Structure 1
Amino acid sequence: MSLPPVDLTPHIERRQRLQDYMRSLGGGIAVLSTAPETVRSRDSEFPYRFDSDFFYLTGFTEPEAWLVVLAGEREASILFCRERHEEQETWTGHRCGPDAAAARFGFDEAYAVERLDDLLPALLLNQPTLFAPLQAGGALGERLARAQETARQQARGQHQLPTRQRDPRPQLADMRLVKDATEIALMRRAARISAGAHARAMRHVRPGMHEYEIEAELLHEFRRHGAQSVAYNSIVAAGANACTLHYPAGDAVLRDGQLLLIDAGCEYDGYAADITRTFPVNGRYTGPQRALYDLTVAAQDAACAAIRPGASFNDGHEAAVRVLAQGMIDEGLLQGSLDGVLESKSYSRFYMHRTGHWLGLDVHDVGDYRQPDSTGIEGERPWRTLERGMILTVEPGIYVRGAADVPEAFWDIGIRTEDDALVTDEGCELITRGVPVHATEIEALMRE
């Protein structure tokens, strides 16, 4: 079977960076496994999705795979994976097999996964540090414990076992925070597909439809353009349902005069997009809807203006909160001065989440939001400094449930406006603007 070529360079370079990190700590052996298959019911599994760190280092997407990286006196990257199996492949599809995997993915060595228990103990001998997830459970923890016990028996006082264990995941998280050119290209592709899906939903929505029908339009557009999966379960929330932040698409009927909030993005070759738009079911915002909608767009503009290399991760959030808080005062949702509202955080009644998160192989991607290895006042570390190549979401919102002290015109309005921002030398680029964000542009699209 002929398989499409794989660009080995990014994955090889990432493994080399991991080796550099290991050498800086005296060298050793790193052991990582990919995600297991998960049973959905009886003998049926959920669609398989690889472990993100494992894929980042290998590009390998099959289950039952292990990666061993050596750094020090011996340098090597070794894959353990499933053998070719004609009968099993008839049922579940092609397997790469160790021989092909070594050449196709740039490993120094590759073996059948059944040989892991035989070969891993010897690889552990005379390694000063074991780089593996701390307190590893499941198959990884069991295999490591078994290998270490076997290695202890083989050592017989003539060889040393690792005397230290370090978790490589924080280092991998720092590596994954700044995207390389390959990753940025994939995320642009995911963003274009996802933006097209949101535009499709805007064109198709009509009063009387159900939330799940709009979800189906999103899924159709994702798959039609080659996305392998959703990046997360789509939120399609009509009316008051939009005030529930992680509301799953249900069977509610879309009614004339309501807003529809869609938070959805696809996964393309492992990388996620994350977009939210809120638009009127009948194609026209009411006055109160438009007032709050324009407020979220203004807050997003303020946040984006604060995103640039050298800025703090929190700068965008603070800029968005100031705009939202002032708007809540102007519209009569809150009373008092802007400084008072910010100090008391009374705005959190209507805006209870942060303005963004890292984005990449995971929709809520890895990476500390605080500066690593630093100290702050009373032990609180300062916010991380943004760098060129980071990608984060920008998603201010406002969620107003009905209450006696809330103007009735705003009852049960939930709005969020979200785009994906690539940090550039000049500031940031919103890579998801293939779907309109301004109210007049959305209304024009919906008239098509």
Structure 2
Amino acid sequence: MSMFPAATYQARRAALLARLRDAGACGLVLLPGHVDSPMNYRDNAYEFRQDSSFLYFCGLQQPELALLLDIDDGSTTLHGDDIGIDHLVWTGPLPSVAERAALSGIERTATNARLGATLSTARTAGRDVHFLKPYRGETRLALAAWLGLADAQIDAAASRALTLAAIALRAVKSTSEVAEIENALHVTRDMHHLAMRLSRPGVVEQEIVGAMEGLALAHGRRLAYPSIFTSRGEILHNHDHSVKLKGGELIVNDTGANSPIGYASDITRTIPVGGRFTGLQAELYDLVLDAQTQAIAAVAPGVPYRDIHGLACRVMVEGMKTLGFMRGDAAEAVQAGAHAIFFQCGTGHMMGLDVHDMEGLGENDVGYGEGFTRSTLFGHKSLRLARPLQPGFVVTIEPGVYINRWLTERWQAEGRHAQFIDYAMFDRHADFGGIRIEDDILVTADGRRELGPPIARTRIDVEAQCAS
């Protein structure tokens, strides 16, 4: 089982308790792990993925475990059940709960049945039970039963102090965590280069997706998220892979592998089917790459990520003006939200154990925080990260151009941002598709570092991989 040393998890739990005490919290912290999620009946489950906060503070990747921390006396108890003979014949021998606890530096263990009784006693005594807002139905049901809450009460009862403490700790990546992300990126590089070589006329998209996932599995990994591999790149999260490639179109390939411990990678490359970028494809590709290059260069401690997003948007509006798609002042166009005619999403997000790191804890708490309010404008409101960057943050930088026929038609009918947008040009290139280029960046004490091995990114290098 892949884990950090026990001392890592002990230090994380101690830091969590210290932050909670500093915030004036007392009582218990309950961190439930995940249970198996049935695919179509109980014994045929989806591949198990542990809750990331449980994984961060405990490291154990088995189902049906729960972590209970006592803020007042500093103790930690791992709840779980040892297998009996009925399970043994199906699974073979498995480590006991005590053996698993030792791997995480936990001395106390108890059964799952005991957990309910402990929580009931604590509630009767008037002690607080801190838990994170759940995002899985099974966890919601368990919390409701343990804590005597109706489902409608659960979200409001989640602990604000615990949420903010967990975000603060998980946001700053240690050297070991960064190494895990780079470990994942080595496999991700091979997956992307394989896709470039396979993207040829006559091949069905699913064949290439399958080859990439097979490569990840051959390295003992899983995908960090379902692959976006599509010749309809203007559809931002298109997971249909049924199209047979014709030649001449562009493929947006947004695919990343996990590390053995579960840390994500998140890389996007745009591939010309047939091996060459032509005409407008080449011009827009170079524009997106320029926007990404300038945005990466702007990453530094203290810089609000919102400013990096604004920079990428302005660079692309200026380029789209040169190509005849936009007009007017670039800064004014971005402020008004007119850039969203071709760039409908944000420039990036936090990354770690989750590909959109910690967003299950609350996207605004993770990405915005004090002093930063989420925009209500189309496009700008999809920016997941705005807050000032800190050393140890890992972020993605992923500008793109997406010419979406349905969006163009709607905005044109409404006359929206007509002073900035040349709708005739968008109509002329309604079938263009999309381009995205994405890399993973570590914020360092004095700037930034691009993580992982080089993955073909310039037009020359991408075309060379396609031809290899």
CA contact (8 A) 2:183 2:452 kept: no
Distance change in 2, residues 1:416/1:93 (3 Å): farther
Cα distance in 2, alignment partners of residues 318 and 256 from structure 1: 34
> 287, 302, 305: which one pairs with 2:297?
305
Structure 2 equivalent of residue 270 of structure 1: 262
Cα distance in 2, alignment partners of residues 52 and 164 from structure 1: 17
Deviations 1:293-330 (A, max 9, x none): 01110000111111111111212111101111111111
**Deviation for aligned residue 1:406:** 2.0
**Deviation for aligned residue 1:167:** 5.3
Identity fraction in percent: 29
* Amino acid aligned to 2:113: E
Secondary structure in 2 matching 1:168: helix
TM-score of the two chains, using structure 2 as the length reference: 0.84
Structure 2 equivalent of residue 151 of structure 1: none
**Deviation for aligned residue 1:87:** 3.2
Distance change in 2, residues 1:218/1:93 (3 Å): farther
Cα distance in 2, alignment partners of residues 178 and 215 from structure 1: 32
> 223, 241, 245: which one pairs with 1:250?
241
Cα distance in 2, alignment partners of residues 190 and 271 from structure 1: 7
Which structure's relative contact order is higher, taking Cα pairs within 8 Å and 6+ residues apart?
2
* Amino acid aligned to 1:263: D
CA contact (8 A) 2:131 2:158 kept: no
Secondary structure in 1 matching 2:425: coil
Cα distance in 1, alignment partners of residues 52 and 228 from structure 2: 23
Structure 2 equivalent of residue 261 of structure 1: 252
Structure 1 equivalent of residue 190 of structure 2: 196
Cα distance in 1, alignment partners of residues 183 and 306 from structure 2: 27
Structure 1 equivalent of residue 162 of structure 2: 168
CA contact (8 A) 1:132 1:167 kept: no
What does residue range 222-233 of structure 1 map to in structure 2 within 5 Å?
A: 222-227=216-221, 229-233=222-226
Secondary structure in 2 matching 1:243: coil
Structure 1 equivalent of residue 378 of structure 2: none
Q: Please say which of residues 277-286 and 118-127 is displaced more in the overlay.
A: 118-127
Distance change in 2, residues 1:180/1:86 (3 Å): farther
**Deviation for aligned residue 1:249:** 3.9
Distance change in 2, residues 1:316/1:362 (3 Å): same
What does residue range 120-139 of structure 1 map to in structure 2 within 5 Å?
A: 120-122=119-121, 128-133=127-132, 137-139=140-142
TM-score of the two chains, using structure 1 as the length reference: 0.88
**Deviation for aligned residue 1:166:** 5.0
CA contact (8 A) 1:288 1:409 kept: no
CA contact (8 A) 1:26 1:128 kept: no
Pair 1:63-2:66 in alignment = no
Structure 2 equivalent of residue 178 of structure 1: 172
**Deviation for aligned residue 1:374:** 4.6
Q: Please say which of residues 188-197 and 19-28 is displaced more in the overlay.
A: 19-28
Cα distance in 2, alignment partners of residues 375 and 348 from structure 1: 21
Secondary structure in 1 matching 2:31: strand
Structure 2 equivalent of residue 149 of structure 1: none
Q: Please say which of residues 85-94 and 348-357 is displaced more in the overlay.
A: 85-94
Distance change in 2, residues 1:94/1:414 (3 Å): farther
Structure 2 equivalent of residue 283 of structure 1: 275
Aligned residues: 424
Pair 1:52-2:47 in alignment = no
> 369, 382, 387: which one pairs with 1:384?
387
Consecutive unaligned residues in structure 1, runs of 5 or more: 147-162
Distance change in 2, residues 1:89/1:333 (3 Å): farther
CA contact (8 A) 1:33 1:67 kept: yes
**Deviation for aligned residue 1:204:** 2.1
Structure 1 equivalent of residue 425 of structure 2: 406
Cα distance in 2, alignment partners of residues 187 and 91 from structure 1: 34
Structure 2 equivalent of residue 159 of structure 1: none
Structure 1 equivalent of residue 436 of structure 2: 416
Deviations 1:35-68 (A, max 9, x none): 2321111242111111111111100111111111
Structure 2 equivalent of residue 434 of structure 1: 454
CA contact (8 A) 2:37 2:45 kept: yes
CA contact (8 A) 1:29 1:68 kept: yes
Cα distance in 2, alignment partners of residues 284 and 121 from structure 1: 65
* Amino acid aligned to 2:241: G
Query: RMSD between aligned alpha carbons?
Result: 2.7
CA contact (8 A) 1:325 1:347 kept: yes
